[in-house]
Each structure stands twice: as structure tokens, then as C-alpha cells.
Amino acid sequence: MEEERQEQAITAATIKKDLGEILRPRAPGPYNGSPGALQGFLTQLRAYHQQFPNKMEESSVKVLHAGGYMTGVALVWFEPIMRDYLNKEKDDHEEETNTIFKSYNEFEKAIKKAFRTVNEARAAEYYINGLKQKGSASDYAARFQQLASQLN
């Protein structure tokens, strides 16, 4: 009996668990194609993926995971790409599908191209100029910081 426990302890110690399996972080929220919510969605995804370095090592796994959180217009955009990836052999995939699933960075470029505000910096300047404190100072500061980060 003691030998069996020691064996189990050794096995548990040698099996590498992802930090996310221990901490169980909250999954990213859904993304519906809103340009203003895109950067937050991508940041949440990257943070979540970093918690699972073993399970989310491959770009294709990360992209499929991200696709599971898309709704509305974002899903309308991504569903044909995901269907192409899942239902066809690799050699029969569209070029866009191969590009997006080969590299998570390419997925981010594609979704930004589809949903990001055309001139984000100009829009941020416009909103900063009209920004007024209507609630708490922390809400105002958070909104200002969010807009200012789009200028960099």
C-alpha cells in the first residue's frame, strides 16, 4: 500500500500540469465583432493561453479555442474559415485558412483587419477630446488610459 502511494506521488510530480489547470482562470468573454471590444478580447485570449502552455502550444489549437468565443458578426466571419479547417484535408484548405491556422499572430492580424476601427488613432483622439468625467474618477481614468493606449 505504501509503495503504491509513493508511486502515485512520483507520477503526479513528473506529470507537468499547466498553471491554468491549477488556477482555473476565467475564460475570455464572447466577442461579437464590436471594434471597441476587439483589443480586450485578444488580450484576454493571450492571457488565457499563457496559463496553458502545454495544452495551448499549437497555433491551431489557440485559433480553434478563440473561434469558440465568437458570436454575431464575428462568428459569421470566422465560421466558414473554421468549417474549411475542420471539414477538409489540409491540402484542400483555402489559402486564408492555412495562413490563419498556421500562426496565431496571423489569426490576430486577420481578425484585426476584419473588425478593427479603420483609423483607430484618429477615433481615440476624437473620444479623448470629448471625454468628460460623469462617474467616478477611477472610471474616467480607466477610459482615458484605454483610449490613450490606442495612440501608441
Is residue 47 domain-shared with residue 78, that is, in the same domain?
yes
Is residue 99 domain-shared with residue 129, that is, in the same domain?
no
* Domain encompassing residue 38: 17-116
Confidence of residue 15 (pLDDT cuts 50, 70, 90): low
Is residue 128 domain-shared with residue 67, that is, in the same domain?
no
Is residue 111 domain-shared with residue 129, that is, in the same domain?
no
Q: What residues pair up with 31 in beta bridges, in sequence order?
A: 70
**pLDDT for 43-79, tens place per residue?**
999 999 999 998 989 999 999 999 999 999 999 999 9
**pLDDT for 109-146, tens place per residue?**
999 999 886 666 677 677 777 888 888 888 888 888 87
For residue 6, being part of any structural domain is answered with no
Is residue 91 left, alpha or beta, with left meaning phi > 0 and alpha meaning psi from -120 to 50? alpha
Is residue 36 domain-shared with residue 105, that is, in the same domain?
yes
Is residue 60 domain-shared with residue 24, that is, in the same domain?
yes
Is residue 127 domain-shared with residue 98, that is, in the same domain?
no
Is residue 111 domain-shared with residue 70, that is, in the same domain?
yes
Residue 120 grid coordinates = 483607430
For residue 67, being part of any structural domain is answered with yes
> Residue written as cell 482562470?
25
For residue 32, being part of any structural domain is answered with yes
In three-state secondary structure terms, 118 is coil
Task: DSSP letter for 90, please.
Answer: G
For residue 10, being part of any structural domain is answered with no
pLDDT at 14: 57
Q: Residue ranges of the alpha helices (H) in the chain? A: 2-14, 19-23, 35-50, 59-67, 72-87, 95-102, 104-115, 120-129, 137-149
* Number of residues in the chain: 152
Count of structural domains, the chain? 2
What do you get for the CA distance between the two ends of the chain, in Å? 62
Is residue 85 domain-shared with residue 130, that is, in the same domain?
no
For residue 2, being part of any structural domain is answered with no
Is residue 100 domain-shared with residue 125, that is, in the same domain?
no
Is residue 85 domain-shared with residue 132, that is, in the same domain?
no
Beta strand residue intervals within 63-108, DSSP E? none
